[in-house]
Amino acid sequence: MNDLEKKYYDFLVSENAKYNLTNITDIDEAMCKHFCDSYMLGEAFDLNKDISLCDVGSGAGFPSIALKLKYPNIKVTIIEAMKKRCDFLENLVKILELKDVTIICDRAENLKDLKESFDIVTARAVASLPILIEVCSQFAKVEGFFAPFKGSNYQEEIDLAHTATKILGYKLEGIYKYDLIDKNGNDYGSRAIIKYKKIKSTDNKYPRLYSQIKKKIL
Average pLDDT of 141-148? 98
pLDDT of residue 159: 96
The answer to whether residue 100 scores a pLDDT higher than 80 is yes
The answer to whether residue 19 scores a pLDDT higher than 90 is no
Confidence of residue 67 (pLDDT cuts 50, 70, 90): very high
Write the CB contacts of 6 (distance below 8 Å, at least 6 apart in sequence): none
**Domains observed in the chain:** 3-215 (3.40.50.150)
When the pLDDT of each residue in the chain is averaged and rounded to a whole number, the result is 94
Average pLDDT of 156-163? 95
pLDDT of residue 165: 96
Distance CA 48, CA 92 (A): 23
The answer to whether residue 125 scores a pLDDT higher than 80 is no
Instruction: Provide, rounded to the nearest whole percent, the portion of the chain with pLDDT above 90.
Output: 84
pLDDT of residue 23: 83
The answer to whether residue 122 scores a pLDDT higher than 90 is yes
Check: CB of residue 133 under 8 Å from CB of residue 170.
yes
**Encoded amino acid at 214, one letter:** K
pLDDT of residue 112: 92
The answer to whether residue 208 scores a pLDDT higher than 80 is yes
Instruction: Provide, rounded to the nearest whole percent, the portion of the chain with pLDDT above 70.
Output: 100
Mapped onto helix, strand or coil, the DSSP state of residue 137 is coil
Least-confidence region, from 17-21, 171-175, 190-194: 17-21
Cis amide bond preceding 72, omega within 30? no
The answer to whether residue 82 scores a pLDDT higher than 90 is yes
- Quote helix, strand, coil % in the chain, to nearest 5: 40, 25, 35
pLDDT of residue 26: 86
pLDDT of residue 126: 72
Average pLDDT of 17-29? 84
Residue scoring higher pLDDT (17 or 86)? 86
Check: CB of residue 176 under 8 Å from CB of residue 195.
yes
pLDDT of residue 20: 79
